[in-house]
Amino acid sequence: MFSSTRHPQEAVQTADIETEQPMVRFNSIMKAFGDQVVLNELDLEVGSGEKVALIGPSGSGKTTILRMLMTLERPDAGTIYVDGDPLWHMERNGTTVPADERHLRQMRTKIGMVFQQFNLFPHMTVLRNIAEAPIRVLGIPRAEAEERARHLLDQVGLAGKADYRPSQLSGGQQQRVAIARAIAMRPKVMLFDEVTSALDPELVAEVHAVLRDLATETGMTMLLVTHEMNFARDIADRVLMFDQGRIIESGPPERIFTHPENDRTKSFLRAVLEAT
């Protein structure tokens, strides 16, 4: 359902899959909060168009990884590359210096994020939530931005809700609006941080369905943090198992979920399965 609106830009992106350059690369990333080291020399690559599920116990650093990519959290050391360019650094007069706001703004156009708590703007209509950034950031004329927003709403199954306030929607509907809002900016990389864990169980499926369509019908690179193993199995090309800020196991979902090699992966999967 998303393919019908694929923008020329997105078509190019799909072609990128063939190329060698990863869309996201973490090079020796360090991150600590106070004296608690959360990520230590993390290396990570995500190919263009690849869908990667990040799983692992609470506190293992999954959210921190996404937040650093969204420029909400700055790494202490190491380099993150997005689409070939350093995210938190830039070149000036031949030397590498910390990124300024202009560089960050430039890089952010490539990245979008959907949050666990939706974070919709409560004082705006659903339509406005989606159209605001395309108007203000991309400079798209209002009428066109709103038309695109309506189209996206249609695609996430909320065609009739354009003029509602977020508070008038169910959690599942709000999260689908948040997804539409993020893809309205046409990012190359989309980040999803446990986007269904704040939802009542009966609302999870509708959000998963939207994400599944997004995964199969667009060339977007996707990083998804999730505790729902069936969903990860469905959607991901690759699963990364995190523990204490390190990737302890990685591979295609069929293998990780059926023949995990690491003992901690085994016990983590057992615990998650028991909980659901």
Partner 1 sequence: MNVWDWNFAASIIPSLLDGLLVTLEATALGSLLAFVLGLMLALLRYSPLFVVSKAAWGFIEVVRSTPLLVQLYIWFFLLAQWGITLGSMTAGVLGLGVHYATYTAEVYRAGIDAVPRGQWEAARALNLPRGRTWVGIVLPQAIPRMIPALGNYVVSMFKETPLLLTIGVLDILGQARGAGAEAYRFIEPYTLAGILFLALSYPSSILIRRLERRVLQH
Ligand X SMILES: Nc1ncnc2c1ncn2[C@@H]1O[C@H](COP(=O)(O)OP(=O)(O)OP(=O)(O)O)[C@@H](O)[C@H]1O
The footprint of partner 1 (CB under 8 A) covers 70-72, 105, 108-109, 111-113, 115, 117, 119-123, 132-133, 136-137, 181-182, 185
Is 161 a binder of ligand X (CB under 6 A)? no
Residue 61 interface partner, choices partner 1, ligand X, Mg ion, none, CB cut-off 5-8 Å depending on type: ligand X
Closest distance of CB 218 from ligand X, Å: 25
Q: Tokens 């695109």 map to which residue?
A: 148
Each residue 40-69 as x (binds ligand X by CB under 6 A) or -, in order, gives: ------------------xxxxxxx-----
CA angle 129, 183, 145 (to 5 degrees): 55
The reply on whether position 78 binds ligand X by CB under 6 A is no
H helices within 49-95, ranges in order? 62-69
Task: Closer to partner 1 by CB, 152 or 241: give it.
Answer: 152
Tell me how far, at minimum, the Cβ of 65 lies from Mg ion, in Å.
Answer: 9
Position 75 contacts ligand X (CB under 6 A): no
* Residue (46 or 131) nearer to Mg ion, CB: 46
| Least distance CB 117 / partner 1 (angstroms) | 5
The residues, ordered by sequence, that sit 6+ positions from 39 with a Cβ below 8 Å of its Cβ are 29, 30, 31, 61, 64, 65, 75, 245
Amino acid at position 256, single letter: I
Question: Are the CB atoms for 237 and 52 separated by under 8 Å?
Answer: yes
Query: Which CB sits closer to ligand X, 184 or 195?
Result: 195
In the chain, what is the greatest distance between 2 CA atoms, to the nearest angstrom? 56
* 63 belongs to the binding site for Mg ion (CB under 5 A): yes
Nearer to partner 1, 15 or 137 (CB): 137
DSSP state of 193: E
Residue 38 interacts with which of ligand X, Mg ion, partner 1, none, CB < 5 to 8 Å by class: ligand X
Give the β-pairing of 77-82 and 24-33.
antiparallel
The position carrying tokens 């446990």 is 194
């400079």: which residue's tokens? 139
Asked if residue 64 binds Mg ion (CB under 5 A), the reply is no
Q: Closest Cα partner for 188 from 106, 82, 101, 88?
A: 82
| Residues β-bridged to residue 45 | 25
Asked if 196 interacts with Mg ion (CB under 5 A), we say: no
Shortest approach of ligand X to residue 230 CB, angstroms? 18
CA dist 110 and 221 (Å) reads: 10
Residues forming contacts to ligand X in the complex (CB under 6 A) are 33, 38, 58-64
